[in-house]
Structure 1
Amino acid sequence: MAVGGDTGAVVFYPAGRDLLAWSERHAAGSAPDRWPYGLDRLDAHLPRVAAQNLPDPSAAARALRRIASIVPPPRRRGRPAGVTWDENAGMLLATTPGLRARYSGVVWLTDSVMRRGGAPFQGMRRALRRLDGLWVLSDAQVAPLTAFLGDGAPPVHYVRFGVDSEFFRHAPSPTRPLVVSVGGDRDRDPKTLLRAMATVRAARPDVEIVVQSTTDLDPPDGVIVVPYLTHAELRDLYASASVVAIATRPNLHVSGMTVGLEAMATGRPLVITRTPGMDDYFGGTTAARMVDVGDADALARETLAVLDDPASEALGDAARAHVEAGYTTTHLAGRIAEVISAR
């Protein structure tokens, strides 16, 4: 697929992502940012930024990409740079012609290699080595990804994540105690979370608890589990919460940071598992408390401490200020623009 037009950058999304529908939801106030991950905000830093879908990865297309991967497409001066969010899209970007350079984020690869070894990911390694620059969302990923890619690979940059603080706006403090937990990625820890929530309910039967998760574990009495929430429903749930609690397994990609930042943008204190890189996101603020991996007792204890804190409104203000100071999609786009401009 050739790229046309005199643009500074083209942001490529997977074939199944309906960019028009996303933009329409954003215009209606029901989705954050005009494009996913706020990459539309690159237009404040780069001239003529456009969005486009990657080709559908059909069997025929995969065969063509294998052929193209033998001789990577040339870098075309005067053409746009290509940008993708994660390594799966980055593999397609590696063989997309008509670009002057190619840049991608890497999200899950470091954890996959750590758990399974590098052998299953050699195809991805070859593809990523053909790009011009990569970024990760945790400083703990930089060294292992650099080592896995080897000498001669593109530079790996640490880029802090951000959320749409206009969509996840600061909400007044709730009038009823509610604990919320959100997220079902592969590194969430529902077992520890639900054990902690059982303890919270035993100590404070008046507290409501809502967990968004696809777990098949039976929730404790008084804990409501919902499998899915739209962005608008999620925003409203944060606004109703007294505190947001997140439990994760060991990981390098800072699982839980998106929910944590969205909740804090809404003005909600956070209790979250400390994993490598988490301090960069939630250290240095009274609005976030971190506990050890798998420690359900500590997660419950810190959640109860926030619920019982008479200064909860001040914690909410501190949470919002923390996000505004450096963790919005405006900040994120600026950091990605620096990666593109660094070459």
Structure 2
Amino acid sequence: MLRHHGDVDAAGELLDFAVNVRLRQPPEWLRDRLIAALDRLGGYPSAEDDLAARCAVARRHDRSPEEVLPLAGAAEGFALLPTLRPELAAVVHPSFTEPELALRDGGVDVTRVPLDPADGYRLRPEAVPERADLVVLGNPTNPTSVLHPAETLRSLARPGRVLVVDEAFADAVVDEPESLAAERIPGLLVLRSLTKMWGLPGLRVGYALGEPELLRRLTHRRPHWPVSTLGLEALLACCEPEAVAESRRAAELLARCRDELAAELADIPGIHVALPAAAPFLLLRVPNGPSVRAGLRQHGIAVRRADTFPGLDEDHIRVAVRGDAENARLVSALREVVVPPASPEWEHTDEEPVATVTENRSTTREATR
């Protein structure tokens, strides 16, 4: 269950709300850069290519090249975590499950830090065990769409502790206000991905930011040439100023579409929307989740089942934010397939009631103007 991902839910000829990737394919300018790099595939990825990519990432985040580690996707960063040999890893949930899987597979003791839906899935630092020498969380968090304050994350740093912040969706947040990517905090490891913003899930490319010594420990016994020539070219291209400006415009559009979609979904009787939301996806709670997912598939729509995330159940689903026309189709289909339960007991949960969601919706709209 922990290895379930949205691409499984989206299999087939369906309108895809299950996979959190903004584009169906990379933009034309990025495709041109990758095509031009094909002629270099006759040689191994070079030290010059690696340095150029690290320098581009470093400029993007005001770091030094020695503080940058290109990765074969952020998932490789999670796979490398057992190399740090922590005694106890604390993983904040609900969140992306690959870090926990990688740690458990590497023989690391893992404890879960569950977040309370009644508290908006906000992180309380005191909930993290003091003896945990490795802490993992996402910001913004998948699938709750919560953006934790940077101050809260900084408070988790300790001497002798590695703090891993998964920022795979940070570039989809306007101005990245809570990102720690540019901060030099001892023990901080920030993981980033190009997959979501640039439509590159098939290329597998991302990067880590942290102290040089921490990165050296992370890459102990790592295979040679882990990132391809095309991956390094993508890193270089997507960290250039023009690309960063384009990603900001995309984040602004995603925020507008997300807030409008959240408002329309919250008006459907029986649907609870987890708010406020900061990422390009929304977490919903619906009555009889499996039936709703099946009904949506009959309408040609795929959504992400969310009961595979620790702390959520089969009535939770995650929906990606798309353009206006696609979002309207999702809302229309949900109006048809969601049948509010007759019993009021379903409403009495530890999650926000519909009235609270509606109230928060106006606050969210105001904050994004």
TM-score, structure 1 as length reference: 0.32
Which structure has the higher relative contact order (CA within 8 Å, separation 6+)?
A: 2
TM-score, structure 2 as length reference: 0.30
